Chains A and B, each alone.
Chain A
Amino acid sequence: MKEDTIVALATPAGVGAISVIRVSGPQSFSAVDEIFFGKNKIENAATHTLHYGDIKNQGGKHIDDVLVSVFRAPNSYTGEDSVEISTHGNPLITQKIIELLISNSDVRLADPGEFTKRAFLNNRIDLTKAEAVADVINSRTEASFRGARNQLDGLLSKKVNDLRTQLLNSSSFIELELDFVEEDIQFVNQDELLKRIDSIIIEIDTLLESYEFGRVIRDGVNVAIVGKPNVGKSSLLNYILKESRAIVSEIPGTTRDVIREEVSIGGILFRIFDTAGIRVSDDTIEKEGIFRSQETVRNADIVIFLEDVNQGESRELFVDLLNLTNPDKVIKVLNKIDLNDKSKINSDVKISAKTGEGIDLLFEKLKEKTIGNESYTEKTAIVTSLRHHNCLKKSRENLINARESILKKMSGEFISVDLRNAEMKLAEIIGEVTSDDILNNIFMKFCIGK
């Protein structure tokens, strides 16, 4: 039996200058090679070497440029083959990279304290007492539990529980036919079973789709304000801070040239970046700032493109902007309408950062861009955690397998293999598994027994 390969963020969650993702286990190198594009393959790299390159997704889209450190067993923190990926400090980037890694079937998310546990089991850390390691596992588990006890997870548990019950009912029908063949009972037909499974798949799909939105709820939306000097970028930021609930004031030391504020608008966390400028300049001092601003725009979920009635349209800047981001993400905002409300400049929203006119509309636009046309309400179950997302995805795969077995007219015990796995994956989300559920369900619902 081989150990699983595990992955997790090794640095604190949130925004820092850099983040480090740690991968450990026998498939570390091959898994990283699937998404890392540098000069050399990690598989062939010597231990304790550094490699620069790009992380790309399956479609070849650039995610981030990173530094990869290679540690070969037993000379790593865990004592296993291990890789550390240093990325830019943005939760969206680290999340994407971790998602890419666990889409490989050999890789899974690490359990709380698991790196430490492996390090200990492989004699890599010199903790004289097992107790210390157990403490680590214990405290991490509690921390992750505390984080999970919010209302959103409550809604999700309820939904998942409901799906699990539906699955149990389907499994019960199958098991009934296998274990109680002599009973005077109407057995379920295959069409009916297929219908039930299809409806569960659709519900899981809906949950999976909610993940993008759930991520926004959890991690926040990155908004970059782009505009020429003096169009009122700082005034807008200040007004937004005044009007909304500011969560943190400026986080110092993250970047020199990009100012960032976090605000909550309509229950959604927005992380607003005031960029210095994105036009290429020859000034070497400015160059670094421009580079950072461009990165910010690239990673932004929404870009507020700010113009004002005085300076008029900034066509060249807009063209530059579209090189960095997708037009769907851009809200064109015209500022200073308190000075002249007759401007013909084409915009999505007209505001005055001085009087506050039109800001409400801007907030609406921000929410609309975030949530899209999906009608999420407070009663909708939403997936916010990668672990949950992963379980749902696996459960769905199992259901597709079960579906195939039904279509191939396989007997119930074959269908059951996948239905059980699907059910176990759902149970993992809720955190309770008892294998007697199916039998209990049968005894409750059917008159069994000669």
Chain B
Amino acid sequence: MKKFDIIVVGGGHAGIEAASAGARMGCSVGLVTMDKFALGRMSCNPAIGGTAKGHLVREIDALGGVMGQIADRTGIQFRMLNKSKGPAVWSSRCQSDRKLYSEEAYRIISPTKNLEIVEESVVEVLIENRKVLGVKTSSGEEIYCKALVLSAGTFLNGLMHTGLNKTIGGRFGEQAATGVTESLAKLGFEHGKLKTGTPPRLKKDSINWAILEEQPGDEKPQPFSHQTDLSQFPFLPQVSCHITYTDLAVHKILEKGFAESPLFTGLIKGVGPRYCPSIEDKIVRFADKERHQLFLEPEGLDSDQIYLNGFSSSLSAEIQLEALHKIAGLEEVEMVRPAYAVEYDFFPPQQVDLTLETKLIEGLYFAGQINGTSGYEEAAAQGLIAGINAALKIQGKPEFVLKRSEAYIGVLIDDLVTKSTDEPYRMFTSRAEHRLLLRQDNADRRLIKHGYQFGLIPKDLFEEVDNREKSIIDGINYCQSKKYHARDVNEFLVKSGSNEIDSTETISKLCKRPEFSLKQLLEFNGASSDSEAVALLNDEKALEQAEIEIKYEGYILRQYEAVDKLEKFETTKIPLNFDFTKIKQLSTEGREKLSKVKPRSIGQASRISGVTPSDISILLVYLKN
């Protein structure tokens, strides 16, 4: 009879983070997966990061997760998106070698101490007295645990659609997981269906590359991980993506297939993501758009396949191929595998707490697509938080919840738990109300202390970040007080195309002029010998942080003030067993929603739709007792 502290079901992006964190925190972990060589397998596009997702990866890395390191070692194109905007919305994105990504995940995960990979399929969750007991596998074996993380991705009753053809499975060529949904439903869990899709894979040498627009990576690629050795980065040769477009002729052919579209004929019941529609959806909903952009992304350095980003579909394979042949550069293309849609079960996430433990069953955690999210990064973030909390609970330590003002991960989980979702949830920077504070460049300053505290971040890295913090703060104070005299600095200002000053001006005031970098201002008169300036000039990362905080000081301060105003609400906790139904003064809708969501703080309660400001006042009064 097998027994672990923590069992993790599913070896995708959520599962490997949960398993790795739990094991490294000292718990024995069983990672149950149908195929150990499918760890961290990329089901959809071979890329990590992107707007807001890049932020998530940086945060996962700062907390001690593995995603950033795997992505850095297997990336074949790195780009910093939104570089023309302010630093808060810069986001890293990389193309990954799909095969190497999975191999790297196995290489990192498999030797982890306390971690055992179990190749099995789970068919039932074992529960006793509303507490998790373990799982039952398809071979009939029972494995026991103190905490169970369910991160089964699209595999729960997964059903794939191509035209009117249906195939049971969670991913091309792989089985589905049946029984788990049913066993949870019996316990009283609500469940629903979502849909997602993936575009066709094309044969690389059947594409007319010469006529396609090339999109290269950044000249100076930036890694995701704070732990990546810059002298070795990038680890792999870098390649380009290419761009092409559909046109009206393509749309016309696709329209022929609508009659047999599982989406339009109502065969697909699950709700798909609006930000990632299938090509047929785009044609119907935006009929006036004459073309749609498509990206040809390499599947890997040695791969003969190309991923056609923007062409996800559930139309029949014949129609897909006919339409592809009308696209510039794809006239002779061979389709290795058609696009398909996949429907899967999810559990509306109001059923989990901010720790990702379910409210119904103690010791049971949900992470990833099972909570209604989409995306590798969103999944990994949840896996990490679930794994950390499972370990903390077993060790009798306080739970770990990130605030919305602290991390995108906090926004993600709070959104899920507080508002639930009825479409696959993807992170966007616009979801973060404190966006200017949650930058990818300061993920380490925000979070590494937590990672270190859990033993997931090495001591030397923590100390490096901790020491840098002092340089940054001292450096900013220095710039705010150190004044330059007109007679010393005016020549330099004019030479740089800026305006003269009258008498004196602080470095920080001058730095707010867009034409100057902080470095220029510290060095204009030969390198300064003041210790604070030297500390900044000797540490590029500290200099960058000081510069951002000085340049955008007004805006950043206002965001801090906004956070401060909400702080009291966020820290006023609501006990787990608080009975909202007993408060008759609450509005009817407010009482209903509060009872369902069971918010943990007044702040969280105030974000539930239907809960009024007067409901919040009334709650505060009751919480006093």
Interface residue ranges, A against B (CB under 8 Å): 1, 111-114, 117, 120-121, 130-131, 133-135, 137-138, 141, 175, 177-184, 409-414, 416-417, 420, 431, 434-436, 438-439, 443, 447-450
Contacts of B245 in A (CB 8 A): 184
* Cβ-based interface call for B175 (8 A): no
Given that A131-B585, A180-B51, A450-B276 are contacting pairs, would A111 and B286 also be in contact in the complex, using a CB cutoff of 8 Å?
no
Provide the bound-state CA to CA distance between A138 and B282, in Å. 48
Q: Which residues of B contact A135 (CB under 8 A)?
A: 585
- Contact in complex: A411, B620 (CB < 8 Å): no
Q: Assuming the A-B contacts A178-B82, A411-B86, are A420 and B433 also in contact, with contact meaning beta carbons closer than 8 angstroms in the complex?
A: yes
Contact in complex: B295, A450 (CB < 8 Å): yes
Q: Which of B607-622 contact A (CB under 8 A)?
A: 607, 609, 612-614, 617-618, 620-622
Residues of chain B from 15 to 49 with CB closer than 8 A to chain A in the complex: 45
In order of increasing CB-CB distance, the 9 nearest A-B pairs are: A184-B293, A443-B274, A134-B585, A411-B85, A447-B286, A411-B86, A138-B585, A449-B276, A141-B614
Q: How many Å lie between the Cα of A435 and that of B432 in the bound state?
A: 10
Q: What are the residues of chain A within 8 A of B81 when measuring CB–CB?
A: 181-182
B622 and A1 contacting across the interface, CB-CB below 8 Å: no
Please tell me if the beta carbons of B89 and A411 are within 8 angstroms of each other in the complex: yes
Q: Tell me whether B447 is interfacial, beta carbon within 8 Å.
A: no
CB distance from A437 to the nearest CB of B (A): 11
Distance to closest chain A CB from B276 (angstroms): 4
Q: Is the CB of A417 within 8 A of B430?
A: no
> Is B293 within 8 A of A111, CB to CB?
no
**Which of A1, A130, A181, A184 contacts B621 (CB under 8 A)?**
A130
A117→B615 CA distance, assembly (Å): 12
Let me know if A439 and B428 touch, CB within 8 A.
yes
1/0 per residue, CB under 8 A from A, across B583-608: the answer is: 10100000000000000000000010
A134 to B555, Cβ gap below 8 A? no
B280 to chain A: closest CB distance in Å? 12
B174: chain A residues within 8 A (beta carbon): none
Cα-based distance from A414 to B82 in the complex (angstroms) = 14
Task: Tell me, yes or no, whether B309 is within 8 Å of chain A by CB.
Answer: yes
The residues of B that contact A177 with a CB separation of less than 8 Å are 85
Q: What residues of A have a CB within 8 angstroms of the CB of B612 in the complex? A: 141, 431
User: In the complex, what residues of A have CB within 8 A of residue B88's CB?
Assistant: 413
Scan B300-337; emit 1 where CB is below 8 A from any A CB, else 0: 00000000011000000000000000000000000000
Whether the Cβ atoms of B430 and A439 lie closer than 8 Å is: yes
What residues of chain A lie closer than 8 Å to B558, measured between beta carbons? Answer: 417
Q: Which residue on A lies nearest to B311, using beta carbons?
A: A450
Contacts of A111 in B (CB 8 A): 613-614, 617
Complex CA–CA separation, A434 to B81 (angstroms): 28
Chain A residue nearest in CB terms to B428: A179
| Cβ B609 vs Cβ A178 within 8 A | no
CA of A400 to CA of B540 in the docked complex: distance in angstroms? 36
Compute how far the CA of A183 lies from the CA of B292 in the bound complex, rounded to whole angstroms.
9
Inter-chain contact B276/A417, CB cutoff 8 Å: no
A117 contact set on B, CB distance < 8 A? 617, 620-621
Task: List 6 additional contacts besides A113-B617, A137-B617; criterion CB under 8 Å.
Answer: A1-B568, A181-B51, A411-B86, A413-B435, A417-B555, A439-B428
- With CB as the reference atom, state the residue of chain A lying closest to B85: A411
In the complex, 21 of the A-B residue pairs with CB atoms within 8 angstroms, ordered by the A residue number, are: A1-B564, A1-B565, A1-B568, A111-B617, A121-B620, A130-B624, A131-B585, A137-B614, A141-B614, A178-B430, A179-B428, A413-B89, A413-B429, A431-B612, A434-B609, A439-B428, A439-B431, A447-B285, A448-B277, A450-B293, A450-B310
Q: Judging by beta carbons under 8 Å apart, are A178 and B293 in contact?
A: no
In angstroms, Cα B85 to Cα A180, docked, is 13
Q: Is B559's CB within 8 Å of the partner chain A?
A: yes
* A438-B277 CB under 8 A given contacts A138-B614, A417-B436: no
Give residues in B with beta carbon < 8 Å to A.
45, 50-52, 81-82, 84-86, 88-89, 245, 273-277, 282, 285-286, 289, 291-295, 309-310, 419, 428-431, 433, 435-436, 514, 552, 555, 558-559, 564-565, 567-568, 583, 585, 607, 609, 612-614, 617-618, 620-622, 624-625
Pick the most buried of A135, A141, A409, A410: most chain B CB atoms within 10 A of its CB.
Answer: A141
State in angstroms the CA–CA spacing of A394 and B428 once bound together: 27
Given contacts A130-B622, A137-B585, contact A438 B555 (CB under 8 A): no
CB of B564 within 8 A of CB of A134, answer: no
Contact of A112 among B277, B282, B565, B614 (CB under 8 A): B614
Contact A447 B282 (CB under 8 A): yes
Q: Which residues of A contact B84 (CB under 8 A)?
A: 411
> Which residues on B sit within 8 Å (CB–CB) of A121?
620-621, 624
Q: Tell me which residues across on chain A come within 8 A of B435, comparing CB atoms.
A: 413, 416
> Taking the nearest CB of chain B, how far is it from the CB of A1, in angstroms?
5
Tell me whether A414 and B555 are in contact (CB under 8 A). yes
Cβ–Cβ < 8 Å partners of A435 in chain B: 431, 433, 607
Is the pair B89, A178 in contact by a Cβ cutoff of 8 Å? yes
| B621 contact set on A, CB distance < 8 A | 117, 120-121, 130, 133-134, 137
CB distance from A444 to the nearest CB of B (A): 8
Chain B, Cβ-Cβ closest to A182? B81
One of B85, B295, B617, B618 near A412 (C-beta < 8 A): B85
Residue from B277, B559, B614 within 8 A of A449 (CB atoms): B277
Given A120-B624, A182-B81, A420-B433, check contact A447 B86 (CB 8 Å).
no
Provide the residues of chain A in CB contact with B309, threshold 8 Å. 450
A374 to B245, CA, bound (A): 56
Q: B618 near A414 (CB under 8 angstroms)?
A: no
Which residues on A sit within 8 Å (CB–CB) of B430?
A: 175, 178-179, 416, 438-439
B436 touches A414 (CB 8 A): yes
The CA of A410 and the CA of B568, in the complex, are separated in Å by 31
Given the complex of chains A and B, what is the CA–CA distance between A289 and B84 in angstroms?
A: 73
Q: Could you say which of A137, A138, A184 contacts B292, with CB atoms under 8 Å apart?
A: A184
Residues of B within 8 Å of A448, CB to CB, are 274-277
CB of B295 within 8 A of CB of A130, answer: no
A179 touches B51 (CB 8 A): yes
Report Cα–Cα, A184/B585, bound state, in Å: 51
**Complex-state Cα separation, A419 to B131, whole angstroms:** 47
By a CB distance below 8 angstroms, the chain B residues around A431 are: 612
Which chain B residue lies CB-closest to A405?
B555
> What distance in Å separates the Cβ of B89 from its nearest Cβ neighbour in chain A?
5
Whether B289 lies near A449 (C-beta < 8 A) is no
Q: Which residues from A are CB-within-8-Å of B52?
A: 179
Query: Min CB distance, B105 to chain A, in Å?
Result: 24
Closest to B277 in A: A449
Q: Which chain A positions have C-beta within 8 A of B275?
A: 180, 443, 448-449
B88, closest chain A residue (CB): A413
Residues on B with beta carbons closer than 8 Å to the beta carbon of A141:
612, 614
A421 to chain B, nearest CB (A): 8
Bound CA–CA A439/B425 (angstroms): 12
Bound-complex Cα distance A367 to B294 (A) = 66
A409 partner residues in chain B, CB cutoff 8 A:
514
Residues of B within 8 A of A179 (CB): 51-52, 428-430
**Distance between Cα atoms of A396 and B612 in the complex (Å):** 24
**B residues in contact with A181, CB < 8 Å:** 51, 81-82
Q: A142 — nearest CB in chain B belongs to which residue?
A: B614
- B289-A447 in contact (CB<8A): yes
B617: min CB distance to chain A, Å: 5
Residues of A within 8 Å of B607, CB to CB, are: 435
Measured in the bound complex, the distance between the Cα atoms of B81 and A121 in whole Å is: 49
B527 to chain A: closest CB distance in Å?
31
Q: A134 and B429 in contact (CB under 8 A), knowing A414-B555, A448-B275, A449-B276? A: no
How far is the CB of B327 from the nearest CB of chain A, in Å?
Answer: 14
Of all chain A residues, the one with the shortest Cβ separation from B582 is: A131
Report how far A438 CA is from B291 CA in the complex, Å: 25
Give Cα A179 to B624, complex, Å: 42
Q: What's the nearest-Cβ distance from chain B to residue A133, in Å?
A: 5
Check B585 against A449 for contact (C-beta < 8 Å).
no
Measured in the bound complex, the distance between the Cα atoms of B433 and A434 in whole Å is 12
Closest partner residue, chain A, to B83 (CB atom):
A181
Residues of B within 8 A of A412 (CB): 85, 89
Cβ distance B456 to chain A, nearest Cβ, rounded Å: 29
